[in-house]
Structure 1
Amino acid sequence: MGYFIELVVSGLAVGAIYGLVAMGFAVIYKATGIVNFAQGEMGMLSAYTTWALATTLGTGSLMTVFLAVLIGAVLGLVCERLIMRPMLGEPVLSVVLVTVGLAVVLRSVVTIIWGASPHKFEVAGADDIVQIGDIGLRVSQLGVLGALLLAVAGFWYFLGHSRFGVAMRAVAADEKTARLMGVSTARVQAVAWASASGLAGLAGALFAVIYGLTPTVFELGLKAFPATVLGGFDSVLGSGVSGLIIGVFENLVGGYLSSTLKDVAGFTLILVVLMVRPYGLFGEKRIERV
C-alpha cells in the first residue's frame, strides 16, 4: 500500500507540471482555435533563461517563480506579435505549421546558446524534505502542486468573472460576432499567448528545479498534450485537472507494469476515453446544424 501511495503522490507532482502546460494549450486554443505545438519549447527557453538569470542574480524561490512567469509571458507576447499576428486570416493548417517551425527554431536556439549538457537548477530550500505520514516530499514537489491550484483558481476567476475573461470566452464562441460587438480579437490573442507562455515558463522552471535542466525539457509539451485532449481543448480548468490524472496514470503504469510503457500510457488513456467522450472529460459537446 505504501508503494501505491508513493506512486500516486509523485504522479501528482509531475501531473501538476503537465497540468500547467496543458492549460496553456487550452488557453491558446480557446482564444485562437489553433494548437500551439511550440508550447513545450517555450517552456524550455523560459526555463533556461530563468536559470541563467537566477544563477547570476542569486534570486530566492519566489523571485525565481516570478521570473519564470514573466520571461514566459514576454516570450509569448513577442512570438504572438512578430510571428502569429501576421498569420491572422490564414488557413488553420498554415498557422499550426508555423508553430511547428517555431518549436524547431526555439529548440535550436537553446542548444546553440547553452549547449546540450545538463545543468542543476538550484533554488534554496527546494530539495528540503517534508514528511507527510510515511511519505517524504520535496518542497519543490509541494510547490508545483500549489502552483497548479493557484493557476486553476486564477483562471476560474479570470474566465468567469473578469471583463477580459468574458471577452476571451466570447471570441472563442464566435469570433466574428465578438468583433462586431467591439471586442479586440488581436488583444485577446496577445493576452492568451502571454498567459499560455507564462504557464509554460512556470512549468519548465519547476520541472528543471525538480528533475534537472536539459534540452529535453521541451518534451513537456508532448507529455502534456494528452492532458489537454483528455480534459477538452475548450476547457482550461479541465486540462489542468487532467494533467494530474495523466501524471498519476503514467506513474502507476510505470510502477506496476513496465517503465517502457510509461511514455505511451497517457496516449493510451485518451484513446480509451475519447471513444466514450470525443470532446474530453470536461469539454463541451457541440451540436452543429447543417
Structure 2
Amino acid sequence: MLAFIQVLTSGIAIGCVYGLVALSFVLIYKAAETVSFMQGDLLMLGAFAALGLHLAAGWPLLAAAVAAVLAVALLGAALERVVLRRALGQPHLVAVLLTFGLGMMMRGSVASVPAAAQEIHRLPFAADTFAIGPLVLAASHVWVVLATVLLAAALAAFFRFTRAGLALRACSEDARIAALMGVPVARMHVLAWALGAGLAACAGLLLAPITFVHLNMGFIALKAFPAAVLGGLTSLPGALLAGIFLGVVEAVAGLMLPEGVKDVVPYVLLMLALLLFPSGLGVGLGAALRRRGGGQ
C-alpha cells in the first residue's frame, strides 16, 4: 500500500506538469485557433535559462527561476509579433509548421552549447524527502503539486478579476465581437502567446527536480498534448484535470503492467477519447450527463 501511495503521488506530480503544458496548448489554441508545437522546447528553454542564470551568473535560485519564466514569456510575445502574426488568415498548417520550426531552432540553439548538449543537470531545490509515519515522499513531488495549485489559482483569478483576463476571455470566445466592443485583439494574441510560453517555462522548472535538466526534457509535451485534446482543447480546467488523470494512469500502468506499456497509455486514451467523445472528454461527458438528466 505504501508503494502504491508513493507511485500515486509521483503520478499526480508528473500529471501536474502534463496539465500545465496542456494549459499552455489550450491558452494559445483558444486565442489563435492554432496548435503550438514549440511548447516542449519552450519548457526546455525555461529550465536551461534558470540553470544558466543560477550557475553561470550566480543569481539566487528563486530570482533565476522568475527571470527565466519572464524571459521565455517575452520570447513568446516577440515571436508572435515578429513571426507568428504573419500566419493569421493562412491555413492552420502554416502556423503549425512555423511553431515546429521555431521549436527546432530553440533546440538547436541550446544544443550548440556543449555543456547543455552533453551533460544532465539538476536545479538544486526540493531535493530532499520527508516522512509521514512510514510513508516517505519526495519533496519535489509535493512541491510540484503545491506550485500547480498556486499557478492554477492565480490563472483563475487573472481570468476572472482583471481587465486583461476578461478581454482575453472575450477574444477567445469571439474575436470579431470582442473587437467591436473595443477589445484590442492583436494585443490579446500577444498576451496569449506570452502566457502560453510562460506556463511552459513554469512546467520546465517544476519538471527539473524530477527528471533533471537535459536537451530532451521537452519531449514531455508529446504526452501533454493528449491531455489538452482529452480536455477538449477549449477548456482550461479540463486540460489540467486531464493532465493529472494521464499522469496517474501512466504511473499506475507502470506499476502493474509490463515495462514500456505506460508510455503507450496516453495515446491509447487519446484514441479512445477521439472515437467516443470527438469534442473532448470533458465536453462529451458533460453533454452525456445533461442528456441523462433530461431523460430522467
State the TM-score, normalizing by the size of structure 1: 0.91
Amino acid at match of 1:2: L
The alpha-carbon deviation at position 142 of structure 1 amounts to 1.5
Amino acid at match of 2:162: S
* Unmatched 5+ stretches in structure 2: 288-296
| Alignment partners' CA distance in 2, 1:73 and 1:19 | 18
Whether 1:79 aligns to 2:70 is no
The alpha-carbon deviation at position 184 of structure 1 amounts to 1.1
Q: Corresponding residue for 1:122?
A: 123
Whether 1:50 aligns to 2:54 is no
Q: Is the 8 A contact 1:42 1:72 kept in 2?
A: yes
Amino acid at match of 2:178: A
Residues 162-201 of structure 1: matches in 2 within 5 Å? 162-201=162-201
| Alignment partners' CA distance in 2, 1:82 and 1:133 | 55
Deviates more, 1:155-164 or 1:179-188: 155-164
Amino acid at match of 2:82: L
State the TM-score, normalizing by the size of structure 2: 0.89
Residues 210-225 of structure 1: matches in 2 within 5 Å? 210-225=210-225
Q: Corresponding residue for 2:94?
A: 94
Q: Is the 8 A contact 2:231 2:239 kept in 1?
A: yes
* Unmatched 5+ stretches in structure 1: none
Residues 112-261 of structure 1: matches in 2 within 5 Å? 112-114=112-114, 115-124=116-125, 126-261=126-261
The alpha-carbon deviation at position 227 of structure 1 amounts to 1.0
Count of aligned residue pairs for this structure pair: 285
| Alignment partners' CA distance in 1, 2:158 and 2:269 | 30
Q: Is the 8 A contact 2:16 2:148 kept in 1?
A: yes
Q: Secondary structure at the match of 2:136?
A: strand
> Structure 1's 118 and 169: CA in aligned 2 closer, same or farther, altered over 3 A?
same
> Structure 1's 118 and 258: CA in aligned 2 closer, same or farther, altered over 3 A?
farther
- TM-superposition CA deviations, 1:19-58 (whole Å, max 9, x none): 1111100110111111101100111112111111111244
Q: Corresponding residue for 2:291?
A: none
> Structure 1's 71 and 242: CA in aligned 2 closer, same or farther, altered over 3 A?
same
Amino acid at match of 1:144: V
Q: Secondary structure at the match of 1:215?
A: coil
Q: Secondary structure at the match of 1:131?
A: strand
Q: Is the 8 A contact 2:246 2:266 kept in 1?
A: yes
RMSD over equivalenced CA pairs, Å: 1.9
Amino acid at match of 1:121: R
Q: Is the 8 A contact 2:123 2:208 kept in 1?
A: no
Deviates more, 1:22-31 or 1:94-103: 94-103
Q: Is the 8 A contact 1:71 1:201 kept in 2?
A: no
| Alignment partners' CA distance in 2, 1:31 and 1:13 | 28
> Structure 1's 31 and 218: CA in aligned 2 closer, same or farther, altered over 3 A?
same
Q: Is the 8 A contact 2:50 2:61 kept in 1?
A: no
| Alignment partners' CA distance in 2, 1:65 and 1:142 | 18
Q: Is the 8 A contact 2:9 2:141 kept in 1?
A: no
Q: Corresponding residue for 2:272?
A: 272
Q: Secondary structure at the match of 1:259?
A: coil
Percent identity of the aligned residues?
38
The alpha-carbon deviation at position 279 of structure 1 amounts to 2.1
